[in-house]
Amino acid sequence: MTDNKLIGVSRRGLLGAFAATALVAAPTYTNAFGVLRGAGDIRRIRMYSGRTGESMDTIYWIEGEYIPEVLKEINHFMRDWRSDDTVKMDMRTIDIMAASHRLMDVSEPYMLLSGYRSPRTNAMLRSRSGGVAKNSLHMKGQAADLRLQSRSVGQMAKAAAACASGGVGKYSRSNFVHMDCGPVRSWGG
Q: Which of 24-33, 87-96, 112-121, 140-149 has the lowest mean pLDDT?
A: 24-33
pTM over the 0.75 mark? yes
Strand partners, 144: 179
Task: Give the model confidence (pLDDT) of 104-122 as tens digits.
Answer: 999 999 999 999 999 999 9
- What pLDDT is recorded for position 20? 45
Taking domain 11-188, whether its CATH number is 3.30.1380.10 is answered by yes
Domains of the chain by residue range: 11-188
Non-local (6+) Cβ contacts of 71 within 8 A are 60, 88, 89, 91
Task: Assess whether pLDDT exceeds 80 at residue 10.
Answer: no
Task: Assess whether pLDDT exceeds 80 at residue 33.
Answer: no
Tell how strand 185-188 and strand 167-171 pair up. Answer: parallel
What amino acid is encoded at 152 in this protein?
Answer: S
Average pLDDT, the chain: 84
Q: What is the mean pLDDT of residues 77-85?
A: 97
138 phi, psi to nearest 5 deg: -60, -35
